Amino acid sequence: MFQDRLQSLLVPALQGAFQQLFGHAIEAKAIGFQQTRPEFEGDVTINVFPFLKLSGKGPEQTAQAIGEFLVKEVDVVERFNVVKGFLNIVIADSYWLGFLKEAGDRDILQLEPVSPSGAKDKVMVEYASPNTNKPLHLGHLRNIFLGYSVSRILKAAGHEVVKVQVINDRGIHICKSMLAWQKFGNGETPESSGLKGDKLVGKYYVEFDKAYKSEIDALVAAGKSKEEAEKEAPILLDAQEMLRKWEANDPEVRALWEKINGWVYAGFDATYARAGVDFDKNYYESQTYVLGKADVLEGLKKGVFYEKDGAVWVDNTAEGLDEKVLLRRDGTSVYMTQDIGTAIKRFEEYPGLSKLIYTVGNEQDYHFKVLFIILKKLGFVWADELFHLSYGMVDLPSGKMKSREGTVVDADDLIDEVVTEARKTGEQLSKLDGMGEAEKAALFEMIGLAALKYFLLKVDPKKRMLFDPAASIDLQGHTGPFIQYTYARIKSLLRKAGESAVVCAELSGQAGQLTTDKSSLLSEERTVIKLLHQFPAVLNEAATKLDPSSLANHAYEVVKAYNSFYQAIPVMKEEDEGKRAFRLALSAAVADTTKKAMWCLGIEVPERM
């Protein structure tokens, strides 16, 4: 790992410095490095305050002595400066050039383990988890892109990843859509209506709500209280009866359920395909809702749970939570029960599974705290490796979304909007001469999806966010299209100079010559190389913290620095052949790193834009 490469040079030297200067040995893990703050000269900073007892000197004296030792003993340490108790180290250009040469030789696009141990774990990532009573919406998109990106980041970090979703395909919500279609649909189908199946079913979910409210109003007008009317509305009673028939395996209800859900699955699949995401396995609530009951009863037998008023409970007060029912008096399960059973089933189905990540909104934070505690109480050693990837709600400038009122921001419509914005921006720039309509359409689709994905992923998942479709397309802003545009610009530059593979090969000879000249790197070049050097560590951090935002923002910093370099230094006008070849190779390395970072985010980059 490139980040380890620098530390492997500095750590032994620092240990030697403490031994020779102060007569004390220190462990490698006690030495911490950080990037030098931009207002000071330096590449790496070491805080010496924790070591003052060992040195027996003041902070400035300690840092000065260590700095002098490093300059003398380590070739790549060129100079240093001391700011109070902070030692700022300047790394020689020869190191950065050596890194870039190694990056070119090793193929920076190769997916390789970057975890400290190089260990390869099997990790399951759950995301999407839609209901089959309505189409996917903006909230689902943040969930899907977050989970999918985490799965790719983990894969890039060397882990084996299993991508899954739970489809909530049963319950009163789907019966409401089924009943409304039965009452008001007149046999309408996706083919006859021209609607995607999920949109058609979502339409009848809204129709149910309209009819339900109308019946409530009529009952209230007839003298019922609102609470009574809400419970006694005929259409709700019919839906509840339909659910009972479904649970009793009524053949007609089951046939209708399979038909309606089939439409929805086809609609979901079309959206997933367009969004560029997929799954290795689907779990269906109609199959998993029966799980967990036997596990709860076994826990009751072992004294993990207790019985009260005929129901089975768990007491989590010792963990600062409360008591929760797991099986009702009539023996029926709650959502927690099936989640217990589903988790157990997954670890049985996938031997060697070491981590299970649930991508679910932060409104379910409490639910997952309870779930993980229960599984730990049941004695499953893997319970400590369960993780809730919690995220905040997404708002639009127009306000919140309400699915029952039909005001949800439909995922397909939103994708259409950003693709339209991309087309509008692209046609205004008029840089697509010679491109056919099909090629343009594919490019605008790629740009629009990049805008949407990047905008949703660049924000810390825990934060609630506002998505602005127009701002997400800005080619000069902190956006996916800006990164795509920089990549396409580099590819165009390399095409003019010759094949990028040839350019990268030239680096091997040129870097060797440039390393002998310590003043060879300009500040703009140095900045870009340092950011490339940080990429493996940023990827590793994103994999460890399960947070794509750090990787997304680093990709932006790389291309922003490259654009400053490109504007300040005329690459193709450079007369010195060695310097021109080096700068082209640096450009190729930026393109390769950018492509890898965007792949981890689930975003494609165009060769031309």
Q: Are 489 and 605 in contact (CB under 8 A)?
A: no
Q: Are 197 and 190 in contact (CB under 8 A)?
A: yes
Say what the pTM is: 0.91
Tell which wins on pLDDT, 532 or 107: 532
Instruction: Using the predicted structure, report yes or no on whether residue 1 has a pLDDT greater than 50.
Output: no
Residues 6 or more apart whose CB falls under 8 angstroms from that of 513 comprise 578
Q: What is the mean pLDDT of the chain?
A: 90
Q: What average pLDDT score do residues 91-118 get?
A: 67
- Nearest 10 degrees: CA dihedral of 522, 524, 525, 528? 160
- 563-571 CB contacts, 8 Å cutoff, 24+ apart: 563/486, 564/524, 564/527, 565/524, 565/525, 565/527, 565/528, 566/489, 568/522, 568/524, 569/522, 569/524, 569/525, 571/493
Q: Are 85 and 66 in contact (CB under 8 A)?
A: no
Domains and CATH numbers, the chain: 2-91 (3.30.1360.70), 171-260 (no CATH), 412-600 (1.10.730.10)
Q: What average pLDDT score do residues 78-91 get?
A: 96
Q: Give pLDDT tens digits for 366-380.
A: 999 999 999 999 999
Q: Give pLDDT tens digits for 192-247.
A: 999 999 999 999 999 999 999 999 999 999 999 999 999 999 999 999 999 999 99
pLDDT grade for 405, boundaries at 50, 70 and 90: very low
Q: Are 504 and 584 in contact (CB under 8 A)?
A: no
Q: Are 31 and 11 in contact (CB under 8 A)?
A: yes
Q: Are 453 and 603 in contact (CB under 8 A)?
A: yes
Q: Are 164 and 126 in contact (CB under 8 A)?
A: yes
Q: Give pLDDT tens digits for 572-600.
A: 888 888 888 889 989 999 999 999 999 99
From CA 64, how far away is CA 70, in angstroms rounded? 10
Instruction: Using the predicted structure, report yes or no on whether residue 404 has a pLDDT greater than 60.
Output: no
pLDDT at 402: 45
Which of 478, 471, 606, 469 minimizes the C-alpha distance to 552?
478
